Chain A
């Protein structure tokens, strides 16, 4: 079993207006087999947490720690984090021109495993995973994310999740912009991988909708860079009924809409 531990994490970004603190002391522990949902209004810092774990250079860690089974994640480069078993399904996957999906997937798998996958099994695995996620076969020959619709990009993120088999998956608003059918397909993919029992899942979402398909063990409500409330699945039900209004400081925001 593995543990991803985040302790009193403070993160800021540099903008033209100066340094802006975003995360103001986040503490969170995720174990293999657990699903944690992080919910919160826009601008509460949910995506910052995801990008910081993955090591996006835009985010500056001012204090606190992230460790994976005791290893200092913050000391690792972006690719080292991925090879250590962290996977970020991105909110806005970028298009990489000139690099085909086939080439990209094989190169990444080789990097993650430290050796090239057996060609026969790999091709079969990719085909199967694509079929299950209802991704057209011709995507394999297209350039990474190029010309994909929003829903297609998200499905391709989950395709990678299933093929790369990370120890911890961070899903950054994977549900945004998906119609109900696509949401089901994507959720099934996450559940398939999670169900194997070797992965911890951190599900970041603005809406409760995806929680009908992916059942969280823990729910954390993010407000203004901190965890404002924590609980079990019942907290999500309550949020569905009441929204985020009760967490917002009166007079400070029209967010949460």
Chain B
């Protein structure tokens, strides 16, 4: 269950794209090339049922030359309508987006309530507020659509040199199933410290932009929990702009919803900063949980660590993890490592994992990535059962342990407890 690679700095004088398709192994699976092309059978233009092999030679996907060159724009019109063939949408079943990519986002956005710390500021501001766009620029059509559609934003400010007196909970409660847009700005000023939890529940069809500013020397943790109802569709761009010597921790927990697609990005803007990005997802039958992240090392001497772990059970459970790490020419002294692990618990589930590492300088501390997707291992089961533990308990022990590594990172006891219980419920529901 392991496929890992490690790049040593000495070997990377030239620009390298690890994770780019190789010709070494040709796997003939219908609807599936080395790049995992045409993965969503619901997308237009793909036909992959039946014995016929699909054709995608006439409209090939042309990936951008570098992840850093992807189109960024506040204008919806700059992005072409989606077909499902785009590099960054090829795993997403567009028809299940319920109009987020094609309809006006005029529905009622989920209600936002901010509770917790008393020494922070919470405002609702209009479009003309200067902080719109302070940290993010949309990188895809759905994000740009939300950018154009919103009329207001919730702004959470942790003032300079302030340590939030407890965690901040941003409760997002959806009740409407019309496609809607939402904007949240988290502004952690210089030398501030805080934990902000975005807690998504209820039912919604939502395109969301979350802008995160991490000021110089600030320490910010943002936890995004998706415990939506079964019918919810949630697409969220969460971009963080990270200042000098800042510490940023981002945790994604996706458990509920029909389709959840998060694109968390960390942009380093000054040296000395450190980023940790964690993710936990548990997909049940029919659920599509996708996460595509970017760590953009554009300045020297920054450090990033990415750990995403997922479990899947049931027919049609699908998870996607794409981890892009970009080390630009200027980013000497970069230290980065990303890892994704998936545990496939039953037949009929599918997990895609694509680590990409793009390196434009050899003068780095280290860069590596690892990805492994494995089935529940019979030898683990035998070992535990040979010690008297029944099969059900043994399976739970392993899955719980597997996911716990990420839950432990949240460090908000109440939330950790709640998520541990949620994972237990998933395990119970899957009859594992």
Contacts and interface: CB of A to CB of B under 8 A. Distances in A.
A153 to B, nearest CB: 11
A82 B402 CA distance: 25
Interface in B378-404: 378-380, 382-391, 393-394, 397-398, 400-404
A143 interface: yes
Contact of A78 (B385, B393, B397, B403): B385
A98 interface: yes
Contact of A79 (B385, B402, B403): B385
A79 B398 contact: no
B426 interface: no
A96 B386 contact: no
Given A57-B378, A107-B393, A98 B398 contact: yes
Contact of A99 (B377, B385, B391, B401): B401
Interface of B is mostly: helix
A88 B388 CA distance: 11
Contacts of B389: 79, 107-108, 111
Size bracket of the B interface? 20 to 34
A103 B377 CA distance: 19
A83 interface: yes
A96 B390 CA distance: 16
A134 interface: no
B383 A93 contact: yes
A164 B387 contact: yes
B405 interface: yes
Nearest to A92: B379
A108 to B, nearest CB: 4
Contacts of A78: 382, 385-386
Contacts, number: 77
Contact of B398 (A56, A81, A82, A99): A99
A103 B401 contact: yes
B398 A111 contact: no
Interface in B302-344: none
A79 B388 contact: yes
Nearest to B403: A98
Contacts of A96: 380, 383-384, 398, 401
Interface in A65-122: 77-79, 81-83, 87-88, 90, 93-94, 96-100, 103-104, 107-108, 111-112
A54 interface: yes
Size bracket of the A interface? 20 to 34
A160 interface: yes
Contacts of B393: 107, 111
A54 B386 contact: yes
A104 B397 contact: yes
Contact of A90 (B378, B383, B397): B383
Given A56-B382, A57-B378, A104-B397, A97 B402 contact: yes
Given A97-B401, A103-B397, A104-B397, A111 B383 contact: no
Contacts of A112: 387-388
B312 to A, nearest CB: 16
B283 to A, nearest CB: 18
A108 B388 CA distance: 6
Contacts of A90: 383, 386
Contacts of B394: 79
Nearest to A78: B385
B388 A98 contact: no
Contacts of B403: 98
A73 B378 CA distance: 21
Contacts of A56: 382
A107 B404 CA distance: 17
B432 to A, nearest CB: 15
Nearest to B399: A98
A50 B391 CA distance: 21
B372 to A, nearest CB: 10
Given A94-B383, A96-B380, A108-B388, 6 more contacts: A77-B391, A82-B387, A99-B401, A103-B401, A108-B387, A143-B401
Interface of B: 377-380, 382-391, 393-394, 397-398, 400-405
16 contacts: A55-B386, A78-B386, A79-B390, A79-B394, A87-B386, A94-B379, A94-B380, A96-B380, A98-B400, A98-B402, A98-B403, A107-B389, A111-B387, A111-B390, A143-B401, A164-B387
The 8 closest A-B pairs by CB, nearest first: A98-B401, A82-B388, A108-B387, A78-B385, A111-B388, A112-B388, A99-B401, A98-B402
